[in-house]
Structure 1
Amino acid sequence: MKIALLGYGRMGKTIEKIAKSRGHEVVVKVSDDIDNYDLDAESVDVAIDFSVPTAAFKNITTCFRKQIPVVSGTTGWLDDYEKAKKICSEENSAFIYASNFSLGVNIFFELNQKLAGMMQSLEDYSAEIEEIHHTKKLDAPSGTAISLAEQIIDVNPRIKGWQLEDADKDEIPVYAKREEDVPGTHTVKYDSEIDSIEIKHTAKSRQGFALGAVIAGEYLKDKTGIFTMKDVLSDLFKN
């Protein structure tokens, strides 16, 4: 598989290493303006985007218009997500966006959804989320924390939304902390006067995110349409 890396920071370099170990070739590394690079569907099978929020929409949609499938893990640009999906469909391209590509985190999402369903009728428990990341992470809260909150909101009619730290009674408070060299830790907590229940995922390195993104690229190659990591996991575990 021939890969274009959109964003060549720490994640991009980790993805490159994982991709090569799986027999793929990184043919383009976009570290500035995507217009400076000659990309087309003949030379690139899949683009993997871990750029910055201000560049993500342009990077992704430029690839769509060249019929290059895109795997994107950039967060902080999702106000334009629906517009990107529309362009993807119009250009007959392919797209997977995920707030987190780690296979472990996507299993964590499944656990969160199941637990949220169990807790939604227990009014004595209040939910909160904490995320901890490295100090260079640009957005807060993390896309993963937002995804966790939205899963809870979807199944619990008593919860109307989430807020960064200062939340009303019918909202989930999300606490974002930044510490040196933390790849990502997410905790979902339900607290009552009687007890507390927590589920937690701790990333030990960026390799899990990178591996999941490459596996998503392998899944997306030669496809058209809009997919999620649920599709990737279903395909991965079907045997």
Structure 2
Amino acid sequence: MRIALFGYGKMGKMIEGIAMKRGHEIKARIDMGNLEDIDFREIDIAIDFSVPEAAVTNIEKALENDVPVVSGTTGWLDQYSHIVKRCNELEGAFLYASNFSLGVNIFFALNEFLAQKMAPLKQYEVSIEEIHHTEKQDAPSGTAITIAEGILENSDYTHWKLGNAREGEIPITSKRIGDYAGTHTVDYDSSIDQIRIQHTAHSRQGFAEGAVIAAEWLLGKKGVFSMQDVLNLG
């Protein structure tokens, strides 16, 4: 594949290394604002790990040039429905994930299964904690939001809330410590016991590898997809 990288920070560079090891070619590296320099005719797929302020423009520009897009940028999802609409209008291909780690996506499925089983047990209260490195800009993490949404869809909870939550809301605690790659914990607490599931990333390599695998899977397809589709977890 001939890849355009939107965002050339730590993740972009890691994706570049993994993609090249898997036999792919990096045709463009876009850090900030020079989309006009890309000849999209030379691009098979774009991978976006930029910043929230640039993501929508990056994605839309690629779709308008008939280039499929894999995006892992978080913090822009208030415009997700617009991108889905544009992708469908243009008959393009788009895949978004808050986290591309294969293990995290198994964790998402486990989280939803557990939420279904816990829903009738009203004596348990659920909470989410996420820990990331100090350079992470958004809070809560996109991964934590995906976890919360998985619980909302399978329980009587109505919203999630960063910090202290009211009845019916899932509290999310966000911590920024050192160079953490990412830890996400879901707790169900009662006065008698606690049930906990947790995913801990040992490095960011899993995120980058998953993004390249997703790009390989998306090539040649049309529509809007997720890592659930890539891993056949639906």
Q: TM-score normalised by the shorter chain: which range applies? A: over 0.9
Cα-Cα RMSD: 1.0
**Structure 1 residues 34, 91: CA separation in 2 closer, same or farther (over 3 Å shift)?**
farther
Please tell me the residue identity of whatever aligns with 2:16: E
Match of 1:3 in 2: 3
Q: For residues 173-188 of structure 1, what are the structure 2 equivalents within 5 Å?
A: 173-188=171-186
Offset of 1:222 from its aligned partner?
1.5
- Cα distance in 1 for partners of 2:15, 2:209 equals 7
Q: Does 1:62 align with 2:64?
A: no
- Cα distance in 1 for partners of 2:177, 2:227 equals 28
* Segments of 4+ moved more than 4 angstroms: none
Unaligned runs of 5+ residues in structure 2 are none
- Cα distance in 2 for partners of 1:163, 1:233 equals 29
SS of equivalent residue, structure 1 residue 214: helix
Match of 2:197 in 1: 199
Structure 1 contact 106–229 (Cα < 8 Å) conserved: yes
Match of 2:39 in 1: 39
- Cα distance in 1 for partners of 2:70, 2:113 equals 26
Percent identical across equivalent pairs?
Answer: 56
TM-score (norm 2): 0.98
Please tell me the residue identity of whatever aligns with 2:89: E
Match of 1:224 in 2: 222
Offset of 1:223 from its aligned partner?
1.4
Please tell me the residue identity of whatever aligns with 1:48: I
Match of 2:18 in 1: 18
- Cα distance in 1 for partners of 2:71, 2:105 equals 15
Please tell me the residue identity of whatever aligns with 2:100: F
Q: Does 1:135 align with 2:119?
A: no
SS of equivalent residue, structure 1 residue 74: coil
- Cα distance in 1 for partners of 2:190, 2:172 equals 17
Offset of 1:166 from its aligned partner?
1.3
Structure 1 contact 63–69 (Cα < 8 Å) conserved: yes
- Cα distance in 1 for partners of 2:35, 2:197 equals 43
TM-score (norm 1): 0.96
- Cα distance in 1 for partners of 2:38, 2:209 equals 26
How many residue pairs are counted as aligned between the two chains? 233
Structure 1 contact 190–197 (Cα < 8 Å) conserved: yes
Offset of 1:35 from its aligned partner?
2.9
**Structure 1 residues 34, 86: CA separation in 2 closer, same or farther (over 3 Å shift)?**
farther
Structure 1 contact 45–222 (Cα < 8 Å) conserved: no
Offset of 1:130 from its aligned partner?
0.2
Q: For residues 102-181 of structure 1, what are the structure 2 equivalents within 5 Å?
A: 102-157=101-156, 159-181=157-179
Offset of 1:30 from its aligned partner?
0.3
- Cα deviation 1:180-210 (Å, max 9, x = unaligned): 1101100000000000110000001111000
Offset of 1:37 from its aligned partner?
1.9
SS of equivalent residue, structure 1 residue 84: helix
Structure 1 contact 7–50 (Cα < 8 Å) conserved: yes
Unaligned runs of 5+ residues in structure 1 are none
- Cα distance in 2 for partners of 1:16, 1:197 equals 39
Offset of 1:34 from its aligned partner?
3.9
